[in-house]
A and B are shown apart, each in its own frame.
Chain A
């Protein structure tokens, strides 16, 4: 099934959510991705990915307290679900397997 594998950006977002623990909400995720990876991401893109992953059941969300800077609106905090964790692990496993098959000569000179 095609949908079982994570997309590249999905994986990044998922990892970021995992790393942010209880602080993972949309704006924070965008900031964190920018800080850690140096990638400039758009809020809209992150939003769409979050929505898609929630639909797939990779993450769950709940609403937090309203804050002033959000015009009195509540934050939606995301948490990685069990199947999200499995997906991440699976993806890592696949990569590790592939890495282990690559002889060191391939990267000679790059590192």
Chain B
């Protein structure tokens, strides 16, 4: 409290002001001040105290304001009236109401789907009873040359074992390992299953339901498997599989449990679980296995069940302790750990090596932002049109105010109107959302199931959402209308200050059009990038090549049968399909023992390079194909490889030996040929040196058949029947190279779809808004137009006068949107893309022109109509 202050503390005053009736306030406060002044002679603090006590004492029935409930009661009484007025006003202005309703409905349909989607994501893993106590350990791996650590959902077995054996404070430590992928057989029945390895704690930690078998021991012994219901039914029909033995190659597995199918909203999905000890046994047999090393954090997962009174800090401290001890042993990398609650797993952080596919918060936030932008844009229509039309409503407001409506009441009346519009829009948007739901699901589901099922609670969400939209849309117009002074509203409506708000309206229109143009440009660019990716010259031929997934079959047998078909003109074998996303790499050295470089690799047979039309700069294809067990001798490298290692020329490289570094040791290989550089990875990645190894039957993954046929369907049918003779377990999987490439660039296609859809929404909303404004402007200026016409203005001139304001706004929107979108795409979306299509004037101008065309069409239609009217009829009415 400052010394200069003469009165009592302000806050005490405030209390009086808060409770005291306004008509008594001045008198009462004055008295208190007078007393205060007297008491000040004693001391300030005493005066303050007495003042405070008096403030409290004056809180009496007769001084206290009547509670506001009465005011609110009138709101409810008046609600019927508000409702009626709103409905009448909506019905009277059919054009404007439908513009508002349709615009809101279109954008709200996306909102509805987003709400459903997000609420579905939030239910993930909530069926685990102990979910609040389950934590996953995530690893932060920082290599010597990295500036930021990479985050992994996986961690090491080493860590899990250490926590289990040497530390306390954790109720259960569950170890898991990815990819238990096997073909399992029971007699004649063979099925392939995908699942994980899990230690015996699995059913203690998670609440997956075991229908048969002992949850405590089901995953204890090596070679035990737990099958889900659907999987078990395929093998055993309705029989209880527990105790049965299934075979997989030479291994036997005992079925120790039957569990319910994994719910869709589980972050891990599997058809079977094998005991973790199975994986441990397998690792023990392998030489140089990295299974138990500190470094091996790529495929294993550790889940902790923390006791109810558990101390997370001490667990984290233990993790840090282990990390610092182990990290001290090497300077090449550092691994640290964090705990993550099960609730934060999905949706969660952007982690690598997740056990299942997941959605990150980043993606969700981006989707919410885009949705919000579209919705807000539709709200602007309402705001704009309502402000424009508010002149017509000002008389109503004036009368209401004169008969005693308070500002709050007028405000709530107009908000009510907006909410009613929004409710009508909700009904329509619900229909629209049902229509676009399948498409939406397709865009959203990247490897994971999206159901978008509706639950009862969603009705509540939708209603709240609708109210929120109504409030956002109606806020500004309601505020402006409720501020109107009764007298000025009734006296001369045309002189109202409302017209000053015209700038706000312009800003809103410019915003809408900027958005539309940006979305159109965005969709054009992504479409062009997609086309660019598809037509990109990879440096080798992919046309008419059919890639058949071998799925573990012997390639010689399949090839022998399939090449009998007359349509197959040539064939080859390879380990993987290049340019479609997968990349394999190895480390190589040439003469300098200290200079090593990583190169992309593929294992291929003799025919491969000829079948795919690679250009040889020197040397030739592999002289022979490897037989079983034969050591590889040759490699074929590309241009970039010889540049990287400083060979003088392609010819000089032929016959030189390079060293391949692998975990099991080094091997020296001779360069048999040099080919031109080509695109091994997807086109957005920069080219790296490439090395082709001589492949063997162990390494081949695909057959590549060159197919020449007019009747592709019957050919595929015959091919499949050949496959079925050889492999009875796996379904036939074959795909043309070009189709595969197309699929691998699906991302751009989806981006195009999303932007295209958003553009469609933004354009329809903006055009409707523009139409509304144009109708309004011509309506209000009809007298001016008539007078001008009488004075001799031509129709052309009138159209010019009426539309120049709008055209000016469109131009501004274009000038904002073009550079922004350009920057957004060049520096954010396609920033890391090595082969991006240039963004030219066409892409930028196309959107602008389209919007101009639509805009001018909209305005032109209205203004032309206005300019054509007979001025005599308009003026006669006066």
Contacts and interface: CB of A to CB of B under 8 A. Distances in A.
Interface in B8-48: 24, 26-35, 37
Residue picked from B31, B54, B58, most chain A C-beta under 10 Å? B31
A54 to B, nearest CB: 11
Give the interface size bracket for B toward A: 10 to 19
Given A43-B35, A48-B60, A51-B24, A73 B54 contact: no
Contact of A27 (B26, B34, B57, B60): B34
A47 B33 contact: no
A76 to B, nearest CB: 4
Contact of A63 (B26, B32, B57, B58): B26
A75 to B, nearest CB: 6
Given A43-B35, A44-B57, A51-B24, A71 B62 contact: no
A73 B58 contact: no
A73 B30 contact: yes
Nearest to A74: B26
B143 interface: no
A35 to B, nearest CB: 15
Interface string B135-151: 00000000000000000
Nearest to A64: B30
A48 B62 contact: yes
Interface string B44-64: 000000000010011010100
Given A27-B35, A69-B37, A47 B30 contact: no
B7 interface: yes
Nearest to B28: A47
B33 A69 contact: yes
Contacts of B58: 44, 47
Interface string A54-95: 000000000100000111011110000000000000000000
Contacts of A52: 62
Nearest to A42: B57
Contacts of B28: 47
B6 to A, nearest CB: 8
Contacts of B54: 43-44
Contacts of A47: 28, 31, 58
Q: Which among B26, B30, B35, B57 has the highest number of chain A CB atoms within 10 Å?
A: B30
Contact of B30 (A44, A48, A51, A75): A75
Interface in B251-307: none
Contacts of B35: 27, 43
A71 B31 contact: no
Contacts of B34: 27, 69-70
A51 B62 contact: yes
Which of A42, A70, A76 neighbours the largest number of chain B CB atoms within 10 Å of its CB?
A70
A60 B164 CA distance: 88
Nearest to A69: B37
Contacts of A74: 26-27, 30
Nearest to A76: B27
- Chain A: interface residue count, which band? 10 to 19
Contacts of A44: 54, 57-58, 60
A47 B34 CA distance: 14
Contacts of B62: 48, 51-52
A73 B7 CA distance: 12
Contacts of B30: 70-71, 73-76
A71 B27 contact: no
Q: Which of A47, A51, A63, A74 has the most CB of B within 10 A?
A: A47
A81 B30 CA distance: 24
A61 to B, nearest CB: 8
A70 B31 CA distance: 7
Contacts of B33: 69-71, 73
Interface in A34-48: 42-44, 47-48
Nearest to B53: A44
B31 A27 contact: yes
Given A27-B31, A27-B34, A44-B54, A73 B60 contact: no
Interface in B551-605: none
A99 B28 CA distance: 39
A42 B58 CA distance: 11
Contacts of B60: 44, 48
A50 to B, nearest CB: 9
A9 to B, nearest CB: 16
B25 to A, nearest CB: 9
Interface in B198-232: none
A51 B62 CA distance: 8
A73 B29 contact: yes
A66 B57 CA distance: 24
B11 to A, nearest CB: 15
B564 to A, nearest CB: 108
Nearest to A75: B30
A51 B31 CA distance: 14
A43 B26 contact: no
A71 B37 CA distance: 9
Interface in B478-502: none
Contacts of B27: 26, 63, 73-76
B7 A43 contact: no
15 contacts: A26-B31, A27-B34, A43-B54, A44-B60, A47-B28, A47-B31, A48-B60, A51-B24, A52-B62, A71-B7, A71-B29, A73-B29, A74-B26, A74-B27, A74-B30
Interface of B: 7, 24, 26-35, 37, 54, 57-58, 60, 62
The 6 A-B residue pairs with the shortest CB-CB distance, nearest first, are A73-B30, A70-B30, A71-B33, A76-B27, A69-B37, A70-B33
